[in-house]
């Protein structure tokens, strides 16, 4: 039975996008020194949303200098309980403006409003509340008493969870007494610019948070700036390696949150209906543009037909289309470039001999869309089983024994996350101890909580964000 939904679009009246945005430096929006701009586009319609400033080397220097002055004169001298008050204020404003932020995120990123409204923005507020609570308790965090903030943190984030990645970076940095210069991704700058407005609304002292927009060139200027004390990067493994090379041999601290190719492992005793929901959420949430996406499905051989049949039946019920519609499950992918990359991988899968199944969705005429796609008959040698696609494409592999499942899951250059579906707690614990993944979910997937550390092994990076561990990324030990 196919279900027809009446359209239920969220109103865009609540957002006021300016035609042009400057850079947010020292508490004010200013024009870039060389005046270069670029546009940001709605991926679901290809319409230009706004013109945004591109920060050049001199603009980066201005932002770093503002952050450095704010650190030495204001933020590092302020007692933790006062810093905490600003963070609580920011968290409350995010809650108050949550509908506006959700719509803005969906317009700029293409993700369904259901996700930005129910997952992204509530988690953003939760991160600020959580780290606000830590601001006056840093010396009780179990990291010793000789700890100090780095100073100026340069933070570079990707486009898949724009405001959430900002929260993961800015909340712990401010709580620990650092000031920041943050660069959002070039395709999703709008919620970071709205956050700059929130900093003004919260009366945050000028220079404590600076938001500069631009592409990888701006990012490189920021990473290489000599007055930056700490670099925190989330993005691709390729760029992460380049940043690690640039920072090597300097005094700068570094944390890297990079790519992933997670195994979602289903045993024959798993609760199948729940597992199907977990598989769908694992790979089709945010169109699969999730670093910890369960992009490799490992199913015990005896149930593989049952699982793939249930899965493809379930995928036929997903609604693809207008991301602002509250019924939509699958939104647009973020850019034309990324759309081409995902399709290239789908072609690799076909050329390598795997069997492709694509959900029968009607694709809107404008915008960048990829229907949920499942490949069966995949082996560990296939590119679609080894490389991060970062799209709604699932590779299904089989295994016979727990040992084989562990071997296949760990056969990856990445080590960010994994999922285990089984009714046996002892088996789940046995597996979790052997999987080389920073996060292991049991009978669930893609669950996030500000109290829980997140981060990877191997080429997925190093350092942890979230929880008490996330404070460590912004503190250095000082031997007196
Ligand atoms: P990307 O590496 O292309 O870009 C990320 C950011 O780095 C952008 O802001 C970009 O402008 C900037 N950048 C590009 N080149 C740079 C350079 N040479 N120096 C400094 N900055 C530079 O990644 P993307 O395509 O935006 O994001 C997708 C990637 O992010 C995926 O690989 C995904 O797995 C990863 N990711 C990881 C996590 C995590 O927590 N591990 C979370 C989200 C996304």
At 197-211, the pLDDT tens digits run 999 999 999 999 999
pLDDT tens string 74-110: 999 999 999 999 999 999 999 999 999 999 999 999 9
Q: 267 pLDDT exceeds 70? A: yes
Question: Pick from 100, 113, 141: which is nearest to 9 by CA?
Answer: 113
Residue pair 252/268 in contact by the 8 Å Cβ criterion = no
Residue pair 31/142 in contact by the 8 Å Cβ criterion = no
To test the pocket of ligand 1, the residue of 52, 108, 158, 261 to mutate (highest count of ligand atoms within 8 Å of its CB) is: 158
The pLDDT value recorded for residue 186 is 98
Q: 371 pLDDT exceeds 60? A: yes
The pLDDT value recorded for residue 2 is 56
The pLDDT value recorded for residue 204 is 98
Q: What percent of the chain has pLDDT over 90?
A: 97
DSSP 208: S
The pLDDT value recorded for residue 480 is 52
Residue nearest atom 16 in ligand 1 by C-alpha distance? 216
Burial of 69 (0-12, 13-18, 19+ CB in 10 A): middle
Kind plus residue range of the DSSP H or E element containing 38: strand 37-41
Beta bridge mates, 147? 477
Q: Which atom of ligand 1 is nearest to the CA of 183?
A: 9
Q: What's the CA gap between 128 and 183, in Å, rounded? A: 19
Q: 330 pLDDT exceeds 70? A: yes
- Could you tell me the two tokens for 465? 């964000």
Q: 4 pLDDT exceeds 80? A: no
Pairing of strands 23-25, 355-358: unpaired
pLDDT tens string 413-451: 999 999 999 999 999 999 999 999 999 999 999 999 999
Question: Pick from 256, 204, 235: which is nearest to 67 by CA?
Answer: 204
**Residues with C-beta less than 6 Å from any ligand 1 atom:** 156-160, 183, 185-186, 215-216, 219-220, 223, 234-236, 239, 242-243, 257-260, 291, 388, 390, 416, 456, 460-461
Name the average pLDDT for the chain.
97
- Could you tell me the two tokens for 258? 């990079």
Residue pair 191/160 in contact by the 8 Å Cβ criterion = no
Q: How far is the CA of 305 from the centre of ligand 1 (A)?
A: 37
To test the pocket of ligand 1, the residue of 57, 172, 186, 236 to mutate (highest count of ligand atoms within 8 Å of its CB) is: 236
Residue nearest atom 40 in ligand 1 by C-alpha distance? 257
Q: 176 pLDDT exceeds 80? A: yes
Residue pair 109/115 in contact by the 8 Å Cβ criterion = no
- Could you tell me the two tokens for 213? 């927009």
List CB contacts of 197: < 8 A, sequence separation 6 or more: none
Whole-structure pTM value: 0.97
In order of 81, 108, 280, 346, the CA distances from 372 in angstroms are 48, 21, 9, 11
To test the pocket of ligand 1, the residue of 235, 242, 245 to mutate (highest count of ligand atoms within 8 Å of its CB) is: 235
Q: How far is the CA of 86 from the centre of ligand 1 (A)?
A: 29
Q: How many CB atoms lie within 10 A of CB 342?
A: 21
The pLDDT value recorded for residue 479 is 60
Q: How far is the CA of 311 from the centre of ligand 1 (A)?
A: 31
- Long-range pairs of 55-59 with CB within 8 A, sequence gap ≥ 24: 55/23, 55/183, 55/212, 55/213, 55/214, 55/218, 55/221, 56/32, 56/214, 56/218, 56/221, 57/221, 58/33, 58/34, 59/23, 59/25, 59/32, 59/33, 59/34, 59/212, 59/218
Q: How far is the CA of 257 from the centre of ligand 1 (A)?
A: 9
pLDDT tens string 181-236: 999 999 999 999 999 999 999 999 999 999 999 999 999 999 999 999 999 999 99
Q: How far apart are the first and last CA of the chain?
A: 71
Q: 124 pLDDT exceeds 70? A: yes
Chain centroid to CA 136: how far? 27
Residue pair 132/471 in contact by the 8 Å Cβ criterion = no
Domains of the chain are 20-258+460-477 (3.40.605.10), 263-450 (3.40.309.10)
Q: How many CB atoms lie within 10 A of CB 120?
A: 25
pLDDT tens string 242-256: 999 999 999 999 999
Active site residues: 257, 291
Residue nearest atom 35 in ligand 1 by C-alpha distance? 235
List CB contacts of 245: < 8 A, sequence separation 6 or more: none
The number of residues making up the chain comes to 480
């Amino acid at each position: 039975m196919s279900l027809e939904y009446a359209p239920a679009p969220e109103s865009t009246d609540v957002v006021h996008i300016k035609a042009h945005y400057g850079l947010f430096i020292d508490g004010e929006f200013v024009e870039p020194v060389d005046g270069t701009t670029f546009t940001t586009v709605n991926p679901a319609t290809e319409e230009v949303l706004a013109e945004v400033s591109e920060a050049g080397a001199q603009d980066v220097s201005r932002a770093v200098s503002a952050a450095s002055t704010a650190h030495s004169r204001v933020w590092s001298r302020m007692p933790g309980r006062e810093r905490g008050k600003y963070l609580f204020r920011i968290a409350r404003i995010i809650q108050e403006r949550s509908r506006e932020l959700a719509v803005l995120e969906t317009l700029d990123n293409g993700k369904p409003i259901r996700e930005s409204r129910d997952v992204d923005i509530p988690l953003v507020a939760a991160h600020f509340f959580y780290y606000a609570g830590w601001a006056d308790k840093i010396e009780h965090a179990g990291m010793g008493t000789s700890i100090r903030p780095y100073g100026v943190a340069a933070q570079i984030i990707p486009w898949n969870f724009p405001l959430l990645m900002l929260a993961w970076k800015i909340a712990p940095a401010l709580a620990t007494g650092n000031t920041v210069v943050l660069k959002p991704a070039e395709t999703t700058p709008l919620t970071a610019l709205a956050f700059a407005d929130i900093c003004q609304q919260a009366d945050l002292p000028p220079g404590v948070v600076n938001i500069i927009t631009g592409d990888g060139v701006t990012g490189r200027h920021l990473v290489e700036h000599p007055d930056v004390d700490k670099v925190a990067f989330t993005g691709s493994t390729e760029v992460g390696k380049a940043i690690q090379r640039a920072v090597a041999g300097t005094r700068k601290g570094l944390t890297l949150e990079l790519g992933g190719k997670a195994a979602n492992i289903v045993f024959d005793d798993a609760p199948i209906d729940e597992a199907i929901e977990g598989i769908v959420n694992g790979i089709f949430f945010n169109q699969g543009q999730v670093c910890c996406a369960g992009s490799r499905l490992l199913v015990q051989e005896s149930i593989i037909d049952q699982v793939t049949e249930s899965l493809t039946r379930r995928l036929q019920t997903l609604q693809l289309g207008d991301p602002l519609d509250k019924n939509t499950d699958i939104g647009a992918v973020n850019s034309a470039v990324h759309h081409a990359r995902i399709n290239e991988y789908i072609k690799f899968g076909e050329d390598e001999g795997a069997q492709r199944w694509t959900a029968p969705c009607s694709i809107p005429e404008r915008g960048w869309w990829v229907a949920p796609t499942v490949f069966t008959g995949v082996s560990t040698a296939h590119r679609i089983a080894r490389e991060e696609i970062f799209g709604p494409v699932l590779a299904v592999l089989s295994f016979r024994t727990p040992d084989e499942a562990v071997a296949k899951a760990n056969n990856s250059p990445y080590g960010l996350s994994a999922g285990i579906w089984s009714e046996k707690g002892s088996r789940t614990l046995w597996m979790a101890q052997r999987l080389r993944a920073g996060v292991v979910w049991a009978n669930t997937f893609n669950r996030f909580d500000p109290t829980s550390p997140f981060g990877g092994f191997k080429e997925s990076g190093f350092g942890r964000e979230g929880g008490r561990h996330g404070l460590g990324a912004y503190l250095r030990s000082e031997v007196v």
